[in-house]
Structure 1
Amino acid sequence: MADPEQDPVVGDDVAEDDDGTGYKVGEKKDLDELMNLDQDDDALQRWKAQLLEGVAEGATDDPRVVVISEFAFMSEGRDPIVFDFSTEEGVEAMKSSPIIIKEGCDYNLRVKFRVQNDTVLGLKFITTVKRKGVKVDNQIHMIGSYAPKPEVIEFEFPTETAPSGMLARGKYKAYSKFMDDDKQVHLEWEWAFQIKKKWE
């Protein structure tokens, strides 16, 4: 999270996933095409077989590829705040229930999700934070590439430190999404948090 005392970046768009390297993602291929590529490379074939192990078990009638089931805020000194994302109502609840963050505390975000029906390449968590309509932070966290499997995947983001000081305290809005290298947005939502002197 950026320090609000620094000069904010003004803008209205949710953070983009451009890392400035000029890297361009190749055309999306289905599973059969991927398995038939580079047949003469034994190491690559073994890697693909390992990645795609259990694909059949990940098939479902639900057309979604990435299914987010839970989102949590964790910090020492308080119980985890867990939001059930398995329903639209659960996602909406995060918007109407601002998270109270003690200034200067270390915290982590955690997500639980499942991948089904197809592989997901370069899944990332993208967030834009605004205060009083002004963009103060953009973040992109790479989660990774996954094959479809029935097991729930748990991913914990790196530890961050909340800003502190009189100028940092106040209400913020965050706009987040889970998006992959193919620009497929798997979930997008708005939420809020408030930085205070103490946990409340």
Structure 2
Amino acid sequence: MSSTPHEEEDFAPTTTPGYKPTAAKTVDEYAQLDANDESLARWKASLGIVPGAAVAAGEGPKVTVLTLELASPTLPAGKHLSLNIQDPEQLVNVKKNPITIKEGVEYNVRISFKVNHSIISGVRYMQVVKRSGVRVDKMEQMLGSYGPHPKGEAYIKNFDPEESPSGMLARTGTYNVRSRVVDDDGEVYADWDWSFKLAKEW
């Protein structure tokens, strides 16, 4: 998916003064790192890093983003707003038929993803929302650090709650969103477009 220089500016990550990402390491390198540090050993175990354990070869993408969901306590029973990022047809359809979000309610974005190999750190989810080509919102949320799930299962990350806009002006037109999962080194793991509109009801 190509981007203009201006669009890339929209996705410039927030930086912390003085912070410099460390060089990427393999799972084996992490396993051997400070082997006698007990707290580090617990952290590595939480990522599924065990010294001497067999590690899958690093082929294909490090991360596969599976779904993006919108969750809200105000959603009617049985209603589920989920977008399968791996389904190109669904991604095309959601641009033609935007997701409907009720105005003035609390909701949060949730994504599920798999870490296929290696350790990911400094990975963040970003989304830029535009209406009529003008940026109206930008969200940036850290995913954290993860290794491949020991059972091959997906991770689910819930982001901070937000409140959807309200009022007649907010309900006019469609909001176009570009979402991206990227790390500190600028490696993009997923990049997709989707749309939503605001209404009085879900």
TM-score (norm: length of structure 1): 0.81
The answer on whether the counterparts of 1:119 and 1:145 sit within 8 Å (CA) in structure 2 is yes
2:14 counterpart of 1:18: yes
Distance change in 2, residues 1:58/1:187 (3 Å): farther
Which consecutive unaligned segments of at least 5 residues does structure 2 have?
Answer: 1-5
2:115 counterpart of 1:118: no
Q: Deviations over 1:129-179 (max 9, x none)?
A: 111111111110111110112011122222211011222222111111011
Distance change in 2, residues 1:61/1:181 (3 Å): closer
Distance change in 2, residues 1:126/1:22 (3 Å): farther
C-alpha separation between the residues in 2 aligned to 1:189 and 1:161? 23
Which residue of structure 2 aligns with residue 71 of structure 1?
A: 68
The answer on whether the counterparts of 1:72 and 1:110 sit within 8 Å (CA) in structure 2 is yes
The answer on whether the counterparts of 2:27 and 2:49 sit within 8 Å (CA) in structure 1 is no
> Which secondary structure does the structure 2 equivalent of 1:44 belong to?
helix
The answer on whether the counterparts of 1:59 and 1:148 sit within 8 Å (CA) in structure 2 is no
Letter in 2 for 1:108: N
CA shift, 1:57, in A, is: 7.8
Which consecutive unaligned segments of at least 5 residues does structure 1 have?
Answer: 1-10
Letter in 1 for 2:124: K
> Which residue, 27, 47, 52 being the options, matches 1:51?
47
Distance change in 2, residues 1:127/1:74 (3 Å): same
CA shift, 1:121, in A, is: 0.7
* Percentage of identical aligned residues: 35
C-alpha separation between the residues in 1 aligned to 2:87 and 2:75? 29
Correspondence list, 1:1-200, <5 A = 12=7, 13-53=9-49, 59=56, 63-75=60-72, 76-78=74-76, 79-149=79-149, 150-170=152-172, 171-199=174-202
RMSD: 2.5
Aligned pair count reads 189
Which residue of structure 1 aligns with residue 3 of structure 2?
A: none
CA shift, 1:117, in A, is: 1.3
The answer on whether the counterparts of 1:121 and 1:182 sit within 8 Å (CA) in structure 2 is no
C-alpha separation between the residues in 1 aligned to 2:32 and 2:55? 20
> Which secondary structure does the structure 2 equivalent of 1:18 belong to?
coil
Out of 149-158 and 83-92, give the one that drifted further.
83-92
> Which secondary structure does the structure 1 equivalent of 2:10 belong to?
coil
Letter in 2 for 1:82: S
TM-score (norm: length of structure 2): 0.80
The answer on whether the counterparts of 1:130 and 1:137 sit within 8 Å (CA) in structure 2 is yes
Out of 36-45 and 47-56, give the one that drifted further.
47-56
Letter in 2 for 1:166: M
Superposition misfits of 4+ residues, deviation over 4 angstroms:
54-58
CA shift, 1:124, in A, is: 1.2
C-alpha separation between the residues in 1 aligned to 2:67 and 2:50? 23
Distance change in 2, residues 1:47/1:109 (3 Å): closer
Letter in 2 for 1:153: Y
